[in-house]
Amino acid sequence: MKTGITYKSIAQVDADCIAVGIVEEKEQSFDIFARFGDPLKKYLESQWDNGKIKGKELETTYIHTLNEKGPRTILLVGLGKRENITFENVRAAAGRAVKEVLKHNKNGLERFVLSLWPEAGEKLSAERMAHAMTEGAFLAQYRFSDYKQNSEENPQIKELVLWAPRDHQNDAEKGIVQGAAYARGTNLARDLVNTPGNLLPPAVLAERAVDVARRHGMEVEVLDEKEMKKMNMGALLAVAQGSEQPPRMVIVKYQGREKWDNVLGLIGKGITFDTGGISLKPVQNMEEMVSDMGGAAAVIGALETIGLLKPEVNILVVLPMAENMPSGKAYRPGDVITSMSGKTIEIVTTDAEGRLILADAITYARRQGVEAMVDLATLTGAVLVALGTHTTAAMTNNEEWVEQVLEAAADAGELMWRLPTFDVYKKQYKGRVADLRNAGGRNAGSITAGMFLGEFAEDTPWVHLDIAGTAWAEENSDLSPRGGTGVMVRTLTRLALNLSNNS
């Protein structure tokens, strides 16, 4: 989808369709109707007076203009009450508009104009407004290209044009660049998550990360099994040993400042498929464990967006990758392993593998001297019970650091909520014969898993994000089809940009 910008009067833009935002306030919506001139204006006013059009959030009305010049069709999109318009509303409305217009145009469209600008008194800056529209449109248009011999038709919009007030040209253009970049990283993460386990083993996932890093001129290194052994990454190696697919660890350096200091560590769980290992998972929904590299995918997606937007911040990415399989070589319950940190771990269940590979990744990042870090992982089923599928769980050892991450999530329009890390939970994962156990029982499963990671973060400011509920969508929605959501790409990018601005 190409992007563009127009300042022409909305009744005059040349387009297959123009989507126009309306609000619940009659006066403002009538102002918009007036721009289309008679007889359309009269028709729309009567529809409003009959209660057919109300301007409610996500309400859509599709109208054929029968004109040869100007827009051939108009899609009215409700934005709700004008005073309540937010970044998220505008993004959602853009997503709904794209979905709706594609439903009416099964062969796609050449030129689609989005004009969601509320009338006077905008609460959002022009940049945020354009960003929200672009991001919403690109996220809504995403579809994973499937493996069918006769692939279902996939209607596309060839050119997306935003209508913007002429005096906001520069800011609107900036917003378009941002929105497109955020969506591109998110959609890349979705593609990675949606790719099946047989086609994306650790070595291939590593290559994909390398591609992104190289394309943006970032320094990248891939560790193989031999190097992991040299570094005593006993936890990562234990998880990987049951699989025919060798593990990888990808290290990327993004240097956005002159000096390599103040480094932000980003760490993502990259289990390319999680069978549970010897502690085999039940059959039901096991195929969704293709999403168990959602943490790594989020970081790779964020690298793409960061590569495009180039914040002035230094980032060290550490992505441990392995496949968790049962076999004659697999690690077993009862095994005692030694992590890179030296801490010993007794294995209670081989299905608690994420925290093991992350333990070594966190130790690696710490030894590289990161100033603060964020790890992302589809870590626990328990987080689905606690927060469901909309909200990512955050845990920390540092109040100021988690505030910055929560703020980035709010800026990006991604939901996030904290879980506690009280000391009393520690005895749940204290080892009997080793320092730690890799599972702390059913109660507070997400908290004990997160706190287990905290043992390896030690005194480095750290935030853990459990995305097991949010990385995968069961159902289609306007902004995300079923499958990988690309959650946290936008939060991580925003975090990097916020750190860049603060310096």
Instruction: Answer yes or no whether residue 274 interacts with Mn ion by CB under 5 A.
Output: yes
- Helices 202-215 and 294-309: crossing angle in degrees, nearest 10, is 10
Out of 57, 135, 274, 360, point to the residue binding Zn ion (CB under 5 A).
274
Out of 59, 173, 292, 414, point to the residue binding ligand BES (CB under 6 A).
292
For 440, residues 6+ apart whose C-beta sits below 8 A from its C-beta are 425, 428, 429, 448, 449, 452
- Residue 241 interacting partner from ligand BES, Zn ion, Mn ion, none (CB closer than 5 to 8 Å by kind): none
What residue ranges in 132-216 does DSSP mark as E strands? 157-163
Using the rule CB under 6 A, give the single segment among 48-56, 129-137, 314-322, 380-388 that binds ligand BES. Answer: 380-388
Out of 55, 179, 311, 354, point to the residue binding Zn ion (CB under 5 A).
354
Find the radius of gyration of the CA atoms of the chain: 24
Pairing of strands 314-324, 248-255: antiparallel
Would you list the DSSP string of 80-106? --GGG--HHHHHHHHHHHHHHHHHH-T
- Residue 381 interacting partner from ligand BES, Zn ion, Mn ion, none (CB closer than 5 to 8 Å by kind): ligand BES
Catalytic residue among 190, 208, 355, 494: 355
Cβ proximity to Zn ion: between 172 and 451 the closer is 451
Neighbour-count burial of 8, counting CB atoms closer than 10 A to its CB (0-12 exposed, 13-18 middle, 19+ buried): middle
Nearest distance from C-beta of residue 464 to Zn ion, angstroms: 14
Using the rule CB under 5 A, give the single segment among 63-71, 247-255, 291-299, 366-374 that binds Zn ion. Answer: 291-299
Instruction: Answer yes or no whether residue 47 interacts with ligand BES by CB under 6 A.
Output: no
The answer to whether 114 and 161 are in contact (CB under 8 A) is yes
Out of 351, 360, 375, 478, point to the residue binding Mn ion (CB under 5 A).
351
Can you give the three-state secondary structure of 324-351, one letter per residue? ECCCCCCCCCCCEEECCCCCEEECCCCC
Out of 47, 232, 344, 349, point to the residue binding ligand BES (CB under 6 A).
349
- Residue 380 interacting partner from Zn ion, Mn ion, ligand BES, none (CB closer than 5 to 8 Å by kind): ligand BES
Whole-number Cα distances in Å, 404 to 76, 464, 492, 502: 37, 13, 11, 11
Using the rule CB under 5 A, give the single segment among 21-29, 269-277, 396-404, 457-465 that binds Zn ion. Answer: 269-277
Site residues for ligand BES, window 202-241 (CB under 6 A)? none
Does the active-site annotation cover 343? no
Q: How far is CA 39 from the centre of its chain?
A: 45
Instruction: Answer yes or no whether residue 292 interacts with Zn ion by CB under 5 A.
Output: yes
Instruction: Answer yes or no whether residue 351 interacts with ligand BES by CB under 6 A.
Output: yes
Cβ proximity to Mn ion: between 127 and 353 the closer is 353
Nearest distance from C-beta of residue 203 to Zn ion, angstroms: 19
Cβ proximity to ligand BES: between 164 and 337 the closer is 337
Whole-number Cα distances in Å, 427 to 432, 434, 436: 10, 13, 9
Using the rule CB under 6 A, give the single segment among 44-52, 116-124, 379-387, 478-486 that binds ligand BES. Answer: 379-387
Q: Which residue has the tokens 């975090």?
A: 495
Q: Peptide bond before 246: cis, by omega within 30 degrees of 0?
A: no
Nearest distance from C-beta of residue 291 to ligand BES, angstroms: 6
Cβ proximity to Mn ion: between 132 and 278 the closer is 278
The answer to whether 317 and 212 are in contact (CB under 8 A) is no
Nearest to 464 by CA among 396, 379, 408, 404: 396
Does the active-site annotation cover 72? no
Q: Which residue has the tokens 């990562």?
A: 236
Catalytic residue among 8, 99, 253, 281: 281
Residue ranges binding Mn ion (CB under 5 A): 274, 351, 353
Residues serving a catalytic function are 281, 355
Chain contacts with ligand BES (rule: CB under 6 A):
274, 292, 349, 351-354, 378-382, 439, 445, 468
